[in-house]
Structure 1
Amino acid sequence: MSSDDYLQVSTILSRLKRLSEFFLPGGIPNPVRIAELISDVLDEISTPPPGDPDTLEELARAYRSAADVIALIGTDTGRLGTTTLPAAWEGGAAQQASAVLQATEKAIGTTPGIFRRAATVLEDLADDIRDQQQRHSRLHEELDAAFYDATHIRVRVGTPDWFPGPDITIFEGDVPMADPTALLDVVRRAYDLVNGCIDVYTDALDSADRAASRFADLAGKARAAAAVEGGMAPDDAVVLAGKTVTTELGDGYDDGILTPSQLERAGRKMQELSDADRTRLQQILDAAASDEQRAWILKGLAAGHSVDELARFAERIRGLRNIGT
């Protein structure tokens, strides 16, 4: 669910809750007002819970297919690093090539599992949306019927009693006018249906929140895993993987300060530093005013900047708040 959809559903939900108060038992307004209120509810629920279950399921299948392909690539890549290399690769070159291939296998190895878990999230979300849209459609039809009942009465006109012969139906049908005798039943039905709509839109927001949380968790784990793979301490990896920037680039933008590849590269470069430079960099990180600032310093490390350059950069950003937002 996009941020615009989320806002729209939240607005619908808020208005439905206000309208539902008019249908509380004991607060029965006049028949005309009942019809107006039901019409207002129908206007509010004209937009069903957003989402395309079929597209989500198609995307989930694509994730699972990609996971299977990537898993095979990882296996084949790892096998290359442990079997015969081209004859031209000898000595140090062969060792370096083998190390690169095995490292690539490790990097690829975590991807299939993440893709499969993402597919499960998409499938669950598709099931939720399909259920919500079906419930919405059913409630919409029942509210339409309730509105009709509130604004029509069944009338039959036959021949008068004094007319000779059997009774003959001259007219039988629904007439557009309020039926005071059915008012209580209409109010009860409308009350139940409006609350049913509230449940549907509440579930839609809950499903969106749950999916967003699960996707954020997967993204965080992917970043943290990349950082640990590069040699970063697990506790630092978990904290820094969750640091984000605020952007206006839309819902599909990866807002992590450090991408998975940057986290992996930062961890690896820390391991490659001399003991003196590593100690100095740790002092720079410890002096940072926030985890966000630490993330930006490590972003510079991943980009290849020296410890001297990072020290100057850290001094410039130390007094800043909400850097990158």
Structure 2
Amino acid sequence: MTTRGLREKSTDNQDGLNKLHKRVQAIEVETHSFGDPMRVRNALADAITEAREFSAPHGNPDHIDGVAGRYREAAAIVDRAQGDLGKVAKDGLPSVWVGTAGAKASEVIKAASYSADQMAQKFQEAVPALRALSEGIREAQSKHDFGVSALDVAASILNNGDFFMPADELRRAKTAILDGVSSMGEAAGHAKAAGIEAQKTLTKLASEARARKVTASGLTDADRLVLADAAAPGGPADLNEILTANELKRSSEFMDKMSAHDKAEFDRLLSAAKSPQERAYLMKALAAGHGLKEIDHFAQQIHGRSPQWLSDRLTPVVIQSTEPGTNYVNYQGAKWDQGPDGTCVASSTVNARAMVDPLYAFRLTTGGHPDDPKYDSPLAFADRLKQEQNRVHAEGGGDPLPDGGMNPYGQQHINDVEVGGHTGGDYAERKLGNAAERQASLVDIERNLDNGVPVPVDVEGGTGRHAMMIVGHEGDRLQVYNPWGTTTWISEDDFVNNRMGYTNNGYYPTAYSVYLPK
């Protein structure tokens, strides 16, 4: 899927037409002096000429409707294929497929069935998005045509009048111009809104075409399917894929840069893995920038572990659903929270890094000594987490604890180092001074989330300020991690209109800043 060309010049047209509308409104129709009628007539004529320079909203609604129809047909074809694959996955492979070969084939069949099911869903989701875009453009073009007709009426009034036109005729012409410019401005805004909505939906759907992002040489199409679809247990698979789109891309790039010797050794680690989840965590470690020696030791420690064991220690946030409500983030009952100290910035950053770096998560949860109660226990985890939060707080130049706090420069720095250093991006602060700025930021926020890059968010209220992390996006909802040890789904409307308090017991309702990769 592509979103190229959805945002046309209507973005500039709307602003230009709004400014023109204000200038026309300011034209005073006076007849008290000999020159005023001619001056007014010329000003109105100039306004008509300027308005006609604004093009109609671009796009071919009939063509877009045709594309939507083809997506619907494709969904039906893939759905039939998924039924066949699902039957094979359910009934099992022929008895001749035994041992390792049978296990690998079973993984591939299950991944192919799941991918076909997801593909059919994505094609179906694209259809209403394209239909809405088509209807939005059609309505916008109709509004623009109405505006042009109003300008034609105004021009006719000016052209057919006497040399010195009476004030009532000039007022009629001015009213027609205002109607025309207003309608054209509404058309531009309508087209812009339709384009943005389609862009958001199609960009997300494109980011979910995950297997195509695994481009490393040496991996088969079957490998790509299994890696892209491996998910942590505990919630819907499509909400808990282990490898994000960004990680699929980065791990492939790192593989292609390996020497022949290192590539062979990494391939051996992947082949020896006992489950798709184990294999995916090795790729995730590579995407986070770890070297082969570290990954080899990590592979030995997690080898043969169950998917649930891996998820408990390597995936801090498992999504049960996207329904409103608060979920607690914990390890063996110990919460991933900041405790009583003012380390909200550092604590959010530590959790975000654990989400993108499985070796880091492993060190926090097990101390690098899985199954040893001295290290792998709730108390030991809580102690390590607190030490790590304090370390990051100090590196960000945080204020003395327990009150704490951190300035924007420090917050940007620790996100660059702790998160950006493992996702490939440097963060920059974007101020959110009002609802319009929060609304405008959503496209970039959601694009990063869809690619698997967490977005820090600062919130404020009557009791002060707080730092959290936006870690997920689904439909019109955002998942927010609060370093009090919870995650909460909120709507885009909540984010825009000062209802962030759903994530923090109502203390800090307003998002005033986010940090986005440059």
- Confirm or deny a common fold (TM above 0.5): yes
Matches of 1:85 and 1:265 in 2, distance apart?
18
- Structure 1 position 193, deviation (Å): 1.8
Larger Rg: 1
Matches of 1:40 and 1:70 in 2, distance apart?
51
Structure 1's unaligned 5+ residue stretches are 155-176, 242-255, 298-321
Residue in 2 aligned with 1:283?
359
Code of the aligned partner of 1:294: H
Q: Is 1:144 the counterpart of 2:144 in the alignment?
A: no
Matches of 2:277 and 2:51 in 1, distance apart?
55
**TM-score normalised by length of structure 2:** 0.43
Greater share of residues in strand: 2
Structure 2's unaligned 5+ residue stretches are 30-38, 212-225, 253-274, 284-298, 304-309, 315-356, 365-387, 389-414, 426-515
Code of the aligned partner of 2:50: D
- 1:67 corresponds, among 58, 75, 82, to 75
Q: Does the 8 A contact of 1:143 with 1:190 survive in 2?
A: yes
Matches of 2:95 and 2:232 in 1, distance apart?
36
Q: Does the 8 A contact of 1:80 with 1:98 survive in 2?
A: no
Residue in 1 aligned with 2:203?
216
- Structure 1 position 262, deviation (Å): 7.0
Q: Is 1:294 the counterpart of 2:427 in the alignment?
A: no
- 1:112 corresponds, among 101, 117, 120, to 120
- What SS class does the counterpart of residue 110 from structure 1 fall into? helix
Cα distance per residue 1:129-161 (max 9 Å; x no partner):
01111121122122122112112238xxxxxxx
- What SS class does the counterpart of residue 57 from structure 2 fall into? coil
- The structure with higher relative contact order (CA 8 Å, sep 6+) is 1
* C-alpha spacing 1:136/1:27, structure 2 compared with 1 (3 Å): same
Cα distance per residue 1:171-228 (max 9 Å; x no partner):
xxxxxx563351111111211221121111111111111222222343456659x989
Q: Does the 8 A contact of 2:129 with 2:202 survive in 1?
A: yes
- Structure 1 position 69, deviation (Å): 0.8
Q: Does the 8 A contact of 2:56 with 2:141 survive in 1?
A: yes
Q: Is 1:101 the counterpart of 2:102 in the alignment?
A: no
Matches of 2:242 and 2:178 in 1, distance apart?
48
**TM-score normalised by length of structure 1:** 0.65
How do residues 1-325 of structure 1 correspond to structure 2 at under 5 angstroms? 6=7, 8-24=9-25, 27-28=28-29, 30-43=40-53, 45=54, 47-83=55-91, 85=93, 88-90=96-98, 93-153=101-161, 177=163, 179-181=165-167, 182-219=169-206, 229-232=229-232, 241=244, 257-259=246-248, 268-270=279-281, 273-275=299-301, 282-284=358-360, 289-295=417-423
Matches of 2:421 and 2:60 in 1, distance apart?
39
Q: Does the 8 A contact of 2:82 with 2:116 survive in 1?
A: yes
* C-alpha spacing 1:76/1:39, structure 2 compared with 1 (3 Å): same
Aligned-pair identity (%): 18
Q: Does the 8 A contact of 1:222 with 1:260 survive in 2?
A: no
* C-alpha spacing 1:239/1:84, structure 2 compared with 1 (3 Å): closer
Code of the aligned partner of 1:180: P
Q: Does the 8 A contact of 1:152 with 1:178 survive in 2?
A: no
Greater share of residues in helix: 1
* C-alpha spacing 1:184/1:207, structure 2 compared with 1 (3 Å): same
* C-alpha spacing 1:113/1:10, structure 2 compared with 1 (3 Å): same
Aligned length: 262
Matches of 1:125 and 1:293 in 2, distance apart?
38
Matches of 2:195 and 2:23 in 1, distance apart?
29
Cα distance per residue 1:86-120 (max 9 Å; x no partner):
57545654454334312321222111111101111
Matches of 2:140 and 2:242 in 1, distance apart?
36
Residue in 2 aligned with 1:164?
none
Q: Does the 8 A contact of 2:89 with 2:109 survive in 1?
A: yes
Matches of 1:295 and 1:54 in 2, distance apart?
41
Matches of 2:28 and 2:112 in 1, distance apart?
69
Matches of 1:103 and 1:6 in 2, distance apart?
35
Matches of 1:206 and 1:230 in 2, distance apart?
36
Matches of 1:127 and 1:267 in 2, distance apart?
46
- What SS class does the counterpart of residue 34 from structure 1 fall into? helix
* C-alpha spacing 1:193/1:104, structure 2 compared with 1 (3 Å): same
Residue in 2 aligned with 1:316?
none
Q: Does the 8 A contact of 2:137 with 2:191 survive in 1?
A: yes
* C-alpha spacing 1:189/1:13, structure 2 compared with 1 (3 Å): same
